[in-house]
A and B are shown apart, each in its own frame.
Chain A
């Protein structure tokens, strides 16, 4: 069943109005909780080509029977780099604050079992900050272990995807982007959110915690729509210190996929990850395999990150790797292979406030990876690009 945006909005708003009445009827300060987060982020590379920007490019026959990547759309527009400006996303040598964001989380307990949860996010879009619904859903607790949620939910795939906007909750400036970017040019592992249903089971035994999630819905993105998506996530956690998680989901790519050849094809994602916070030692490692109906879109992405926390200071070293279309039968010009090595420093200098610094080196072995350029005629990034980032993270 296709859940349209309009229908979903109507359901959420009407349900919310009904529920809000009961919230107001009771003491609303008891029922409603408001909290938030903010991340002021600055990033800069030493290359003019935008990194992690949205370069819309087509794949087409070059007239000789060979499918090649076309230049970025509008790549010759003046005042742009390959048709891309900071407003389209991306970081280059001019530096950018565009990853700066503010989030507001509102939670209304309707009764003992039902809650209405929403999170709004203020982000820079096309040169101005705009607020949009990050997620919002109605949660019905069937009992202490079983919960059903309906609405717009974060996709529970990947160790940090569900709180990826909340910089305070992880040690890096951004979740590893060669794995987590939702840009089409990335591996397409995770999506920000989906509209639909989620069944959540949480169980505990001694020091162990187990979580199972089964989810169904649609993902609407610019350039692609994933419909009838069905997936599951399993997580096991020991003493809140070490955890492992496996996820899989698949759906049909319908409605204006960026590449016409993907129309009606299945998008299948499988991930496995482990993480830990053992006293002062931190580690994360994840792997994902993605297929999207075309060899050129088949991706593998993984990263590993280890670190140590010295009281208020946390140091992390991270290595990320992404390959896309790097399989037999694909023209070399269409293959992408990129790695990223980072050193991150986090300083928790006051309660719920952290300062972060990060140095990264992005190495591109094949293609352009997450750089906003086509494989054929656009301005190319250097094989090795450095990136600096700093961020101030706050919870309130």
Chain B
């Protein structure tokens, strides 16, 4: 029995290392891979879809209400996350540091209020599901029937 174990162990060790490496690689891939982002609104919203230029204007505070005149509440995700950095780079066209600096100049001079920072996808989804005039963005994989997708970013 002991002999058999000794014979098997190099293989088992190699297989364990391989499995561990595959696991780590897949975890790393999940962290670094660009996730699809969904720009979402409340299902009751009259807006069916939106383009990237409009989303950019909303997140820079240049569009303060929906086209039908109803009030607009803008929701942002956690600072420093890969998804926020991807969204700001692809849609708003700014690095996170420049986006935050832009809003610090507006907020601390009393000329604007930055998007409401809610944190996790679940928090954002719950907020938008409860507030008709709100807009936000989450990982597209987290979308469910409580929210409506206005735009997808790949």
Contact = CB atoms under 8 A, between A and B. Distances in A.
A37 B108 contact: yes
Contacts of B80: 351
Interface string B62-95: 1111000001000000011000000000000010
Q: How large is the interface on B (under 10, 10 to 19, 20 to 34, 35 or more residues)?
A: 20 to 34
A166 B105 contact: yes
Contacts of B101: 168-169
Contacts of B105: 162-163, 166, 169
A248 interface: no
Contact of B110 (A109, A153, A202): A153
B154 interface: no
Contacts of A33: 113
Interface in A145-169: 149, 153-154, 162-163, 165-166, 168-169
Nearest to A312: B97
A273 B123 CA distance: 43
B9 interface: no
Nearest to A277: B98
A105 B109 CA distance: 10
A139 B110 contact: yes
Given A112-B71, A348-B97, A37 B104 contact: yes
B104 A163 contact: yes
Interface string A213-225: 0000000000000
A352 B100 contact: yes
B13 to A, nearest CB: 40
B111 A35 contact: no
Q: With a 10 A CB-CB cut-off, give which of B79, B80, B101, B110 has the most chain A CB atoms.
A: B110
A33 B112 CA distance: 12
A137 B111 CA distance: 11
A261 B54 CA distance: 56
Contact of B104 (A115, A141, A169, A348): A169
Contacts of B104: 37, 163, 166, 168-169, 395
Given A168-B101, A395-B104, A352 B79 contact: yes
A107 interface: yes
Contacts of A168: 101, 104
B57 interface: yes
B140 interface: no
B72 to A, nearest CB: 10
A219 to B, nearest CB: 17
Interface in B45-67: 57, 60, 62-65
B20 interface: no
Nearest to B98: A277
A166 B98 contact: no
A187 interface: no
A137 B110 CA distance: 9
A306 interface: no
A312 to B, nearest CB: 8
B21 interface: no
B78 to A, nearest CB: 10
Interface in A125-152: 135, 137, 139, 141, 144, 149
A112 B69 CA distance: 12
B111 A162 contact: yes
A240 interface: yes
B108 A163 contact: yes
A162 B109 contact: yes
A200 B113 CA distance: 15
A103 B108 contact: yes
Interface string A308-327: 00000000000000000000
A70 interface: no
A242 interface: no
A28 interface: no
A177 B94 CA distance: 29
B44 interface: no
Contacts of B63: 144, 204
Contacts of A202: 62
Contacts of A105: 107-108
Nearest to B113: A107
A117 B110 contact: yes
Contacts of B100: 352, 395
Contacts of B25: none
B108 A144 contact: no
Contacts of B98: 277
Nearest to A115: B113
A119 interface: yes
Interface of B: 57, 60, 62-65, 71, 79-80, 94, 97-98, 100-102, 104-105, 107-111, 113
Which 3 A-B residue pairs are closest in the complex by CB-CB distance? A162-B109, A166-B108, A163-B109
12 contacts: A105-B108, A107-B107, A112-B71, A115-B113, A135-B110, A137-B110, A154-B110, A168-B101, A169-B104, A204-B63, A395-B100, A395-B104
